[in-house]
Amino acid sequence: MVTQNTEKIPHSVWYGWGDPARAKPLGAGGLEYLRTTLGLDSVEAVHPPVDFDDVRVGPVALGDEVLGELRGICGAPHVSTERAERILHAGGKSTPDLLRIRAGDAAQAPDAVLFPGSAEQVREVLEFCVRRRLAVVAFGGGTSVVGGVEPERGPFSGVIAVDLRRMDGLLHLDALSHTATFEAGIRGPAIEAALEPLGFTLGHFPQSHQQATLGGYVATRSAGQASTGYGRADDLVKSVHLETPAGPMDVGSPAPGSAAGPRLLDVVVGSEGTLGVITSATVRIHPLPAARSHGAWSFESFAAGAEALRRLRHEGVRGDMPHVCRLSDTDQTAATFRLGGPKTAAMARYLGLRGHKTPALALFLWEGPKRETAARRRRSARILRAAGGIRLGPLPARAWERGRFSGPYLRDELLTRGVYVETLETAASWTRLDATYTAVRGAILNALEARGGTGYVQAHISHVYPDGASLYFTFLGGLEPDGQAQNARVKKAASEAIVAAGATITHHHAVGTDHSPYLEAEIGALGIEVLRGIKATLDPSGIMNPGKLIPAPANATPSNATATKEQP
Ligand SMILES: Cc1cc2nc3c(=O)[nH]c(=O)nc-3n(C[C@H](O)[C@H](O)[C@H](O)COP(=O)(O)OP(=O)(O)OC[C@H]3O[C@@H](n4cnc5c(N)ncnc54)[C@H](O)[C@@H]3O)c2cc1C
């Protein structure tokens, strides 16, 4: 079976997120919250992006002969040197990416953007780029928030973005084995649109779901909002077809389990475009749930809530864990209650009377067969109550679900209003979770306030494992005149606190350029050498995504973009 996705999904606007027509502007309550919480007297919309016509792009460094050969491989309509395409492929969607593009700087835009239509075309493109010494950036949805799609030339004469957009078909579905094979450029909504009529779901819903692609999920080991139940991208993927400069490679096994040596699939999953281009992937799929049950609980503190989640994971039946399992810290909970309208305000008053003066709100979503889902929720309730939880009914979890993809739009408006806003994430064992939360939160707050401004940090747990949980921080402050320096200062402080706490430098955003300097602290010098060895085998000339994931050796000449970054 081969189906082509025909759904029209808006590609992201050049200065921010998604389709601006879908953005809901901040209401009076939100603006007031910014004023009182952040002390920002002036949150007027006075920092709009520059006009599109004023965005600066460098000259195309590829001659007619090179472009002609690329057109011969992909077809003339699928090789673009148009200014608009180059700008759209000039970076990802982190706050520093947005600050740069909003200021009109797309100087690092790729020389050309290619839209190959098959694995064979990708193979020919890579062979050509090796011969002509051109760097290649595999581009999925371009939603990286760690510099993963920055077009770095490194020592090469040009850089090309290979956008997988045209490769978005469902190639095969095995309904008996619950697996499906897709081309790698298919986006989140199109995956679900292809599976739903056949009675299945992938169950992978990162906040970037509307823009991100399957190839991007696999290349970054992403985690969706329901990953506690369905598993993260690395759990969902079974096998991958990769085109490398050294040739094509299939990794993973059609068998359900295998002991045939080390799992080479794990080398490709998380490789962030540094080894080759993933052109298709086979993933585990799940029957569409017959029932979905929402729940919300309050705990008297973030630490008490985290302990309740640990007990749920350890004392409950394995299958009882909610698919979505989120716990907000007390600051995030206060914002949710304050901005949620009269019903949540009443909830906060009720909790105050029950002794939860500064509560931590947990949201759950159980999915599955009808009777089983209700039974899971009931069994979970016994554990959560015994852990000190107060049950709040389904409303807060339903409200979260309705708005769960709207956060990125808010960031665009906040930047326009002169508010610096960014997120980062980590994960730690249960033993280290609270200390990591305290250390990272403190480091971010200190760095935000280092120049005399005010800062605000909130956090939540969004993924629960047997041995620990993730921590996701969202932070705001007044945007300083040099927003890039402000961001580098905060990010450095947070990253150093994460490393010192013994947590991971990234739970799901991946490494890219931003986390590369901290990778050695996590995997060791020999681990870095192993990665370099694998890259030397699959990409001997080093054309694949220079400057990402694997730190350059100490004596190497810095590539164009990393040279300007603040290093630890
Ligand atoms: C608003 C927002 C919310 C987000 N929420 C989440 C979240 O909830 N969970 C989460 O895990 N992440 C999240 N992210 C991060 C990001 O969306 C994920 O990393 C996602 O998996 C990237 O997919 P993409 O298709 O956009 O990849 P891209 O951004 O295009 O690429 C990311 C990296 O993967 C490589 N790559 C992409 N496609 C291929 C391919 N076919 N072959 C080889 N390499 C490839 C690129 O070269 C790059 O290094 C969020 C980002 C934003 C902006």
Taking every pair of C-alpha atoms in the chain, what is the biggest distance, in angstroms? 75
Start-to-end Cα distance in the chain: 50
Ligand 1 centre and the CA of 212: distance in Å?
6
173 half-sphere exposure, CB direction, 13 A CA radius: 19
Which two three-digit tokens encode residue 493? 């402080």
Q: How far apart are CA 288 and CA 194, in angstroms?
A: 12
Q: Which amino acid is at 31?
A: L
Cα of 211 from ligand 1 centre, angstroms: 9
CA-nearest residue for atom 50, ligand 1, is 208
Q: What is the pLDDT of residues 225-253, one digit of tens each?
A: 999 999 999 999 999 999 999 999 999 99
Taking CA atoms, 121 is separated from 73, 78, 116, 333, in Å, by 6, 11, 6, 50
Cα–Cα distance for residue pair 506/527, rounded to 1 Å: 16
pLDDT score of 426 more than 80: yes
Q: From CA 52, how far away is CA 49, in angstroms rounded?
A: 8
The mean pLDDT of 380-387, rounded to a whole number, is: 96
**Residue 13 confidence (pLDDT) above 70:** yes
pLDDT at res. 41: 73
Q: Whose CA is nearest to atom 2 of ligand 1?
A: 208
- Rounded to an integer, the average pLDDT of 559-566 is 39
Judge contact between 87 and 109, C-beta under 8 A.
yes
Q: What is the pLDDT of residue 442?
A: 98
- Pocket test residue of 97, 143, 146 for ligand 1, highest count of atoms within 8 A of CB: 143
Q: Is the CB of 220 under 6 A from ligand 1?
A: yes
pLDDT digits (tens, 9 = 90+) for 85-105: 999 999 999 999 999 999 999
**Which ligand 1 atom sits closest to the C-alpha of 233?**
11
Query: Pairing state of beta strands 468-478 and 464-465?
Result: antiparallel
Look at ligand 1, atom 22, and give the residue with the nearest C-alpha.
216
Please tell me the predicted confidence (pLDDT) of residue 20: 80
Backbone φ, ψ for residue 324 (5° rounding): -105, 130
- Does 213 contact ligand 1 (Cβ within 6 A)? yes
Measured in Å, residue 543 CA sits from the centre of ligand 1 at 20
pLDDT band at 540; cut points 50, 70, 90: very high
- Strand ranges across the sheet with 277-284: 3-4, 169-174, 179-183, 277-284, 237-244, 247-252
Half-sphere exposure of 314 (CA within 13 A, CB side): 11
**Model pLDDT for residues 143-158, shown as the tens digit of each residue:** 999 999 999 999 999 9
Q: What pTM was estimated for this model as a whole? A: 0.95
What pLDDT digit, counting tens, does each position of 264-300 carry?
999 999 999 999 999 999 999 999 999 999 999 999 9
State the Cα–Cα distance between residues 507 and 471, nearest whole angstrom: 8
Q: How far is the CA of 144 from the centre of ligand 1 (A)?
A: 4
Q: Does residue 482 contact residue 472 with C-beta atoms inside 8 Å?
A: no
Burial tier of 365 (Cβ tally within 10 Å: 0-12, 13-18, 19+)? buried
pLDDT(220) > 80: yes
- Atom in ligand 1 nearest the alpha carbon of residue 206: 8
> pLDDT digits over 14-26, tens only?
999 988 888 888 8
Q: How far is the CA of 449 from the centre of ligand 1 (A)?
A: 30
Confirm or reject: Cβ of 141 under 6 Å from ligand 1: yes
Q: What whole-number distance in Å separates Cα of residue 56 and Cα of residue 385? A: 58
Token pair recorded at residue 328: 């907000």
Average pLDDT, the chain: 93
Q: Would you say the CB of residue 408 lies under 6 angstroms from ligand 1? A: yes
Answer whether 74 contacts ligand 1 (Cβ < 6 A).
no
Q: Could you tell me the distance, in angstroms and rounded to a whole number, from the CA of residue 177 to the centre of ligand 1? A: 27
Secondary structure class of 287 (helix, strand, coil): strand
Dump pLDDT digits (tens) for 329-383.
Answer: 999 999 999 988 899 999 999 999 999 999 999 999 999 999 999 999 999 999 9
Q: Whose CA is nearest to atom 27 of ligand 1?
A: 216
Point out the ligand 1 atom lying closest to the alpha carbon of residue 512.
49
Higher pLDDT, 246 or 453: 246
Would you state the pLDDT for residue 9? Answer: 41
Judged against a pLDDT cut of 80, whether residue 563 lies above it is answered with no
Closest to 446 measured CA to CA, from 437, 460, 457: 457
